[in-house]
Amino acid sequence: MKHFNQILGRLVLVSVIGAVMTIGQTILPAADQDKEPLKLKLPMPTLKGTPDDLPSGPNIEPLPTKPRPPFFIPKGCENVAKGKKVTASDKNPISGEISMVTDGQKEAFDDQVIEMRKGTQWVQVDLEKEYEIHAIVIWHDHRWIQVFRDVVIQISNDPDFTRDVVTVYNNDVDNSSGLGIGKDKEYFETHEGRIIDCKGVRGRYVRAYTRGSNMSALNCIQEIEVYALPSK
């Protein structure tokens, strides 16, 4: 009888665990079951350390002290920007080649950073066809921990960005770049890059603006990755 009770107890335990797992599965939204964590190949962190005089203010996110939590995107998304054509407002950068923006190289090395002149500048990636864009990841310059100003990210099917433009990120709080007042936060550049949630916006072209940083009036860019699905 004792042996029977032990077996019965195990069966009940297994049934309870199975029920909990089933309940856990059923309460998940259907949309989340079609998503997976965005897997990024991150560069190494800078070896220059953290400056003592970091900028602060109500519009600047605190410097992260732990790894970023997972960001979920629909299954099947790929980096459709890799190797694609890049153009820029500065036709002759101070250093680097504009094509480096989509070459996959984003370590904290001088030869992997494009430096452009001061003022508001942009780089633009031509994805060659329209995509359903779910995330844009951008590294400006993580050689130093710094804050870039007027970070504005836009998507369009118009290469001149004069119509059908969707702004997916804008932290220009005073409209100094003339693209509208932004409500997003400034942030510190780290080796993790910045993930922009694009929520499935459709477009062929991605344009990224900056207007210097707290360290320099120059504009820097290292890499742009665009995670998307074919447009339906």
Which CATH number describes the domain made up of 37-61+72-230? 2.60.120.260
Contact 128, 106 (CB under 8 A): no
> Would you say 159 and 165 are in contact if contact means Cβ atoms under 8 Å apart?
no
Do the bridges between strand 114-116 and strand 152-156 make them parallel or antiparallel, or are there none, so unpaired?
Answer: unpaired
Of the chain, the end-to-end C-alpha distance in Å amounts to: 63
Distance CA 175, CA 59 (A): 14
The pair of three-digit structure tokens given for residue 159, joined into one six-digit string: 């290469």
Sign of CA dihedral 45, 48, 54, 55: negative
Q: Which DSSP symbol is given to 79? A: E
Residue 94 near residue 116, CB atoms below 8 Å: yes
Q: What are the pLDDT tens digits along the chain (232 aa)?
A: 444 344 334 433 333 333 333 333 434 455 578 999 999 999 999 988 888 889 999 999 999 999 999 999 999 999 999 999 999 999 999 999 999 999 999 999 999 999 999 999 999 999 999 999 999 999 999 999 999 999 999 999 999 999 999 999 999 999 999 999 999 999 999 999 999 999 999 999 999 999 999 999 999 999 999 999 999 8
Q: Where are the beta strands (DSSP E) in 13-120?
A: 35-37, 72-74, 78-79, 86-88, 114-116
Q: Which helix (H) or strand (E) holds 220?
A: strand 219-221
Mean pLDDT across the chain, nearest whole number?
89
Longest distance between any two alpha carbons in the chain, whole Å = 87
Nearest to 161 by CA among 105, 214, 209, 107: 209
* Residue in 192, 187, 194 with CA at minimum distance from that of residue 54: 187
Residue spans of the domains in the chain: they are: 2-31, 37-61+72-230
The span from the CA of 140 to the CA of 124, in Å, is 14
